[in-house]
Amino acid sequence: MRLRPGYFLAPAILAGACTAALIAAVPARAADAEAGATNLYLHATIQVPVAQDVVLIRLRAQAEAADPAAAQSAVNLRMSDALATSRTLTAGQDPASMTVSTGDYAMWCEPPSPAPRTEAGAEAHGRTEPARWWAAETLTLKGTNLPGLLDLMGELQKKGLITQGMQFQASAPKIRAAVDDATTQAVLRLREEAGKIASSLGMSVVQIQDLRVEGTGEPRPVFAAMPRMMAAPAGFAAPVATPGEGEVTVTVAGTMILHPASR
């Protein structure tokens, strides 16, 4: 195989958690070509754990009736009672620790259906069950005060609200701090690996030509859907939950300019 002047082939080098590839390119200046300048591409990925200090709880008030007005009225009364309870239990709390907000409001109708069989097993000739109307409204609890929000959640469950889901996540300040930490570690690892590779080639790093940073925080919480016909139990123990840890991932990639060590 014949190579044009200024080009050479080099194998990919695996160094620790960094994958390095030596790429020979045409230098921008003739002086660099004469000096044997080399471009070294590296990338490093760092994952940093982050405590999940925020809980999101989504509940729903729902009711059914023979007509839409009655269903809506029942839901409105239940939600008004829930909000009053929420205001009492969150009074004096920092908004970041306990917040309550309403969400979606929906109506739907279950069409008439055939009447059930009689005790004797005969069909009820010509009779149907009337249409039923359903109304529902969601209520979201969010904050860093886990004990207080769990207490509120239990009180709302007692009032007939249905829990649709509970999700933990890290707050924005914690995510930013974790991203900064991961970025610093990734840059240090990149510089360390670049120095090792350059030294093994009898070269030194003289310049970082370009640098790219890509970071990802935690995924947004997703609430699991609950069957709409599920009713709140008549009696139950208080809800319990324990937050865990998430993680942020940062990748730093860059091209280093290497010159012979004697330069």
Q: What is the DSSP string of the chain?
A: ----TT-----EEEETTEEEEEE----SSHHHHHHT-EEEEEEEEEEEEEE--EEEEEEEEEEEESSHHHHHHHHHHHHHHHHHHHHHHHTT--TTT-EEEEEEEEEEEEPPEEPPPPTTS---TT-EEPPEEEEEEEEEEEES-HHHHHHHHHHHHHTTPEEEEEEEE--HHHHHHHHHHHHHHHHHHHHHHHHHHHHHTTEEEEEEEEEEEEEE-PPPP-PPP--TT----SS-PPP-----EEEEEEEEEEEEEEEETT-
Quote the pLDDT of residue 10: 36
96 with 149, same domain?
A: yes
Question: Quick check: is 67 in a domain?
Answer: yes
In percent, the amount of the chain with pLDDT more than 90 equals 57
106 with 198, same domain?
A: no
Question: Quick check: is 231 in a domain?
Answer: no
37 with 69, same domain?
A: no
What's the domain range around 202?
Answer: 12-47+178-217+250-260
164 with 60, same domain?
A: yes
Read off the pLDDT of each residue in 148-160 and give the average, rounded to a whole number.
93
18 with 93, same domain?
A: no
Quote the pLDDT of residue 95: 85
Read off the pLDDT of each residue in 32-55 and give the average, rounded to a whole number.
85
Read off the pLDDT of each residue in 159-183 and give the average, rounded to a whole number.
92
Higher-pLDDT residue of 234, 18? 234
> What's the chain's average pLDDT?
80
Per-residue pLDDT tens over the stretch 207-250: 888 999 987 665 554 444 444 434 455 556 778 888 888 889 99
Quote the pLDDT of residue 243: 87
- Structural domain tally of the chain? 2
